[in-house]
Structure 1
């Protein structure tokens, strides 16, 4: 079982009891405003998403980690790696992404977890490049990308929803950590 420990977080595979707290995160309009068309997800949609995330672990050898706070055991959300099939123009690529509940914003958890996931991508999975995709205006996520050493690579448009997207990238052969 793949786990990563950081000073404040445990990054781990998904448990059954993660469903309700992740559904609460996915139901928050503030959280979802930058995701796809901004629609919130219900319990059933969250269960389907977690199932897909776990399947990606089995198929790709990487995926989205559940992020648990070591101090309290609370589920903060996810940070991890995925293949961005929705944007064929960047393939083959592996994307790093995150989604945390609003109580966990502004405390450095996304950066802390993403830094650990980048090291996992390089050291454990042997990836040489990772991208991240963001909608313009999502300044908090762009700040995390910059902290990771990622640089803007291209501007594009979401193929389904038509809104602009920015693609950031980092060459992990030059990653310092």
Structure 2
């Protein structure tokens, strides 16, 4: 599948470019932006994460898109869909997620881009369900999941974090295609 680009009122969700690595690192290397993740990333770790996102695009034609402001062309963050590569009670699954640049927070960009991603996932991909997860303390994230129409489905221990890691416990949210359709057209 050729890489997909999505257009919203204020954002373009586009495939990755090499010049996206530096603004991505501005998020991944920022302690405040990464406070709900296990660790701040080094530049090499951030670049490796971007390479995995590019690899997902190469394989599927979609993934975590670069969210770019349409008027300025500035890097607003990364938002999109990703196949989950690890095992849990709800996998195999496709997740929706977001990381917004500090300078672009509280502008509604995560919501706009997430709605574009859900429409693509349930429309063109015809996915039966999309999941999301976050730490219990990441209220802005789980509030957005609820605003998107996702429903809480308990907690799970993230399998990539050690048994005594303080961030191991995550909240799981889900939305089924039929619920998304009903919320838009019901």
Q: Is the 8 A contact 2:4 2:61 kept in 1?
A: no
Counterpart position of 1:55: 55
Q: How far, CA to CA, are the matches of 2:82 and 2:135 in structure 1?
A: 17
- Report SS of the residue matched to 1:143: helix
Which runs of no fewer than 5 residues in structure 1 stay unpaired? none
- Residues 1:149 and 2:149 are matched in the alignment: yes
Instruction: State the superposition RMSD in angstroms.
Output: 1.4
Correspondence 1:16-165 to 2 at 5 A: 16-35=18-37, 37=38, 39-159=39-159, 160-161=161-162, 162=165, 163-165=168-170
TM-score by length of 2: 0.89
Q: How far, CA to CA, are the matches of 1:11 and 1:96 in structure 2?
A: 14
Q: Is the 8 A contact 1:80 1:98 kept in 2?
A: yes
Q: Is the 8 A contact 2:84 2:91 kept in 1?
A: yes
Q: How many residues align?
A: 175
Q: Is the 8 A contact 1:87 1:158 kept in 2?
A: no
Q: How far, CA to CA, are the matches of 1:137 and 1:47 in structure 2?
A: 27
Q: Report the CA distance between 1:26 and its aligned residue.
A: 0.7
Q: Is the 8 A contact 1:34 1:135 kept in 2?
A: yes
Q: How far, CA to CA, are the matches of 2:5 and 2:11 in structure 1?
A: 10
CA deviations 1:113-161 (Å, max 9, x no partner) are: 0001000001111101000011001011111101110010121122224
Which runs of no fewer than 5 residues in structure 2 stay unpaired? none
TM-score by length of 1: 0.93
Q: How far, CA to CA, are the matches of 1:73 and 1:62 in structure 2?
A: 20
Note closer, same or farther for the CA distance 1:59–1:99 as it changes in structure 2 (3 Å cut).
same
Note closer, same or farther for the CA distance 1:140–1:66 as it changes in structure 2 (3 Å cut).
same
Q: Report the CA distance between 1:165 and its aligned residue.
A: 0.5
Q: Report the CA distance between 1:56 and its aligned residue.
A: 1.2
